[in-house]
Amino acid sequence: MTPDVRQPPVPRGLLQRAALSILSDRAIVVIVTVAVVATALAATMRLAWAGIDLTLTTAALTFVAAPLEREIDLPLGQNAVATANDFSDLDLSSLNCDPANIADGLRLSGPLSLARLNAVGGAPIEVSQPAPNALDITLSGESSVAIGVDTQATLNTGDGRPIVCRPDPTSRRAVILLIADGRAVIAATLRLSFEFTGPIQLLKDVRMSSLEFVESDLARAQERVPLFRSPIHGGMLRMLDVSQNVDLREREPLRLGRLREGTSALTVTKSGLLVQFVGAVSSVNIGPEGFTRNLQPTWLAYARASDMGQIGGLWTAAAATLGALWKARAWAHAQRP
């Protein structure tokens, strides 16, 4: 006959003493303290990455999208003018032009188009719109920009001297390549003047790693712009993780951290550059220095905005837990002699 090897039941008094020990006043204080500290941390610690949906109009922006190799083919009209300064090299071979010194600058006029924009090695690109019919592109690193020209277009140096060209008579279009090697102290600048006939998309589906909204150097020099003023005309910022909409007011500074997992588009409109970005960002701050508001969601805000928080489950569960803990404490006091 097999002997009964079952363990004897734990005496009821032993379980009761263990429960009384756990539910002592000191233990309750420790539990509540831990809960308070955890809540405080959740209310102050912010998400490492937050999803945003940004739409705004601005007079200027600077972005990094490495590597950027984008065919644009943006017509600028029949009477467009392009002025290039401080580029390191110039390729006029498609027009069979006499040698020209790029240090003198370059001025093109006639039927033009913005054909291509390239940037390597994380070179920043600044785009600004000083007027509805003008666009400035500033290249600070190793970059290049191609201008499509009609073979009948006029080419001059920056000081007005004509550049003699002998284009192929069987061809109507050619491409002029402006190159910046990134070694110059002064950034290369291309100004485009054109007839504005409606919104034109400059870039689409570009993966940016950095996006800044700052006044262009030229605007700061001419208008003595205060450091805290931004070029933003207005827009909307939606914090996707907490379903929060933030109106961006005119001239309100917006500072974004690193970007990832997102795409952006840039459109030239009559009222400014329309920027659209959807993706993740490491930090979001608005307002001038000293009055900055951090919009990066905290873990507590994220929990409240989650499905559990939206139906009240988060706070219902917390209240139920505290209520049960209080009842257990009352029972423990009643059991003590």
CA distance 315 to 186: 58
Q: How does pLDDT run along the chain (337 residues), one tens digit per residue?
A: 555 555 555 444 555 555 555 555 566 666 666 666 666 666 678 889 999 999 999 999 999 986 788 888 788 989 999 999 999 999 999 999 988 888 889 999 999 999 999 998 778 999 999 999 999 999 988 999 999 999 889 999 988 899 999 988 888 889 999 999 888 778 899 999 998 888 989 999 999 999 999 876 555 555 555 555 789 999 999 999 999 999 999 999 999 999 987 889 999 999 999 999 999 999 999 998 888 899 999 888 888 777 544 445 555 656 666 666 556 556 555 555 5
**Amino acid (1-letter code) at residue 40:** A
Element (H, E) at 265: strand 259-269
**Amino acid (1-letter code) at residue 220:** R
Q: Tokens 């420790």, residue?
A: 30
Q: What pLDDT, on a 0 to 100 scale, did the predictor assign at position 266?
A: 95
Q: What pLDDT, on a 0 to 100 scale, did the predictor assign at position 313?
A: 54
Taking alpha carbons only, the member of 287, 248, 318 closest to residue 42 is 318
Q: What pLDDT, on a 0 to 100 scale, did the predictor assign at position 223?
A: 52
Domain boundaries, the chain: 42-65+207-298, 67-197, 306-337
124 preceded by cis ω (within 30°)? Answer: no
Q: What pLDDT, on a 0 to 100 scale, did the predictor assign at position 336?
A: 54
- Buried b vs exposed e over 150-185: b needs ≥16 C-beta within 10 Å? bbebebbbbeeeebebebeeeeeebbbbbbbebeee
Taking alpha carbons only, the member of 50, 41, 38 closest to residue 297 is 50
Q: What pLDDT, on a 0 to 100 scale, did the predictor assign at position 10?
A: 45
CA atoms in the 13 A half-sphere facing the CB of 197: 9
Say which residues have a Cβ less than 8 Å from residue 143's Cβ, sequence separation at least 6: 117, 118, 119, 120, 123, 125, 179, 180, 182, 188
Contact 248, 286 (CB under 8 A): yes
Q: What pLDDT, on a 0 to 100 scale, did the predictor assign at position 251?
A: 92
Contact 90, 100 (CB under 8 A): yes
> End-to-end CA distance of the chain, in Å?
46
The dihedrals phi and psi of 211, each to the nearest 5 degrees, come to -150, 120
Q: What pLDDT, on a 0 to 100 scale, did the predictor assign at position 196?
A: 87
Q: Give the SS3 label for residue 94.
A: helix
